[in-house]
A and B are shown apart, each in its own frame.
Chain A
């Protein structure tokens, strides 16, 4: 077992100019999005992105507790990111760990930057994200799903939130890392933007990048996010068309 793992560490991630799953450097994995997938939430979304499967749902605006933390000027948006125990190969112990607390926070921050929270003073808006299957890049998938669910819930938003990661593998800058690339690559740079203005809503990075590599990786992640944005818009529009057609029948 250990020998296999050691061998994987030296694994080539780029063979004949292609990545392990046959993708080009600037090519995203297969992505499927759907909104309004749950009954008891106000808004919901399901996103499949490569082997990632993520469900997001919104409760509220509703009474916020504890009372003394209420904000009389706006709603407090809280996102909770949770990974199912079986979503990864080595079982993840249920409940919040440090990683999921951090991801919850950065997603809450990003969504709060675009949602018009001033419309619902003293309330809380809770966005729940369930990662059902994880295969690298779950924070980007989660933020894309959470943003769709929030839009689907009808909370006014200044813009959608689109996200995509880029990174460095075998010295090359590529977009949308999958599991092996994430594990054995040299860098991971998840970015979330508000696509219309191009504002940066989430930016994290770990690994090593020179100044020039950063610029290249950032632009690649933004280009990826813009592709995601088009898919998000289409998903929301289609759901409205379906809804209107359903009403007419």
Chain B
């Protein structure tokens, strides 16, 4: 940790002792969320550009045709990939995704998959052919809380996604046949522990001061959870994080669907 990070961490932590945040937000207050669906609509079947405070994430959905998994021969397939582009932070490097990007991708993936948000059974085309939904998260500016931005972006982009026309074994690019069937809106909420407080939606300074974090993805039930980072939670803190996550997800869902 360099000296600037150390000082910021110290400042955030000491403010938090008085229950205050560096940008004067309430403990359970998100930064402003801006969602622009269809940002890359000329090419991509679905997309969404997300501003979560200073964090910028572009999510694109590609639809391909491929083989189903052998144990689910009539279900479509989804995959999630997160690219922490070097442009987003001096700390990110080029090359294949590493630990941090992989973890974010898998947590986002789990929320969408386990909630059944994409109706995969409707993505069957014919024997040995199903639609594959590729969710690609492109992180462009790291202002903190990439995970929630990626999760909000992924479901927003999926809600924006059109199903390409498919005729005689070929995908006809640029022509559409209805929307990708989406059944619900899972929303991840990351709760960060700083001192003895839990806060949502950490900005970059708060991430320096973070001890550990818990992401809870909810619909009307809990669909995914992930504790991440060195450090501990008490079971009461976990309960508190779950309550907060349900509450915040409801508010964010309205923004996504609105």
Contact = CB atoms under 8 A, between A and B. Distances in A.
Interface of A: 2, 5, 98-99, 101-102, 104-106, 109, 112-113, 189, 194, 197-211, 214-215, 218, 222
B73, B115, B214, B222 — which one has the most chain A CB atoms within 10 A of its CB?
A: B222
A198 B237 CA distance: 12
A204 B227 contact: yes
A211 B234 contact: no
A208 B217 CA distance: 10
B61 to A, nearest CB: 19
Contacts of B3: none
Given A206-B114, A208-B221, A210-B221, A109 B230 contact: yes
Contacts of A105: 99, 103, 228
14 contacts: A105-B103, A105-B228, A113-B230, A189-B225, A199-B234, A200-B237, A201-B232, A203-B227, A204-B227, A206-B114, A208-B115, A211-B242, A214-B242, A218-B238
A225 to B, nearest CB: 12
B228 A106 contact: yes
Given A105-B99, A218-B238, A205 B224 contact: yes
A207 B113 CA distance: 9
Given A98-B106, A201-B232, A208 B114 contact: yes
B229 interface: yes
Given A105-B103, A208-B222, A202 B227 contact: yes
Contacts, number: 92
| Size range of the chain B interface in the assembly | 35 or more
A210 B246 CA distance: 11
A64 to B, nearest CB: 16
A206 B109 CA distance: 10
B39 interface: no
B94 interface: no
A99 B105 CA distance: 11
Interface in B213-243: 214, 221-235, 237-239, 242
Nearest to A71: B1
A199 B222 contact: no
Contacts of A204: 225-227
Contact of B231 (A98, A106, A113): A113
A214 B223 CA distance: 11
Nearest to B73: A2
A199 B228 CA distance: 14
Interface of B is mostly: mixed
Contacts of A202: 227
A221 B222 CA distance: 17
Nearest to B238: A200
Interface of B: 70-71, 73, 98-99, 102-103, 105-106, 110, 113-115, 212, 214, 221-235, 237-239, 242, 246
B102 A206 contact: no
A182 B199 CA distance: 33
Contacts of B110: 206
B71 A200 contact: no
A11 B113 CA distance: 22
Contacts of A189: 225
Nearest to B234: A199
B234 A205 contact: no
Contacts of B227: 106, 109, 200-204
Contacts of A198: 234-235
A44 to B, nearest CB: 23
B70, B98, B235, B238 — which one has the most chain A CB atoms within 10 A of its CB?
A: B235
Nearest to B231: A113
B242 A200 contact: no
Contacts of A98: 102, 105-106
Given A106-B227, A200-B238, A206-B114, A214 B232 contact: no
A113 B212 CA distance: 10
A106 B242 CA distance: 20
Contacts of A197: 232
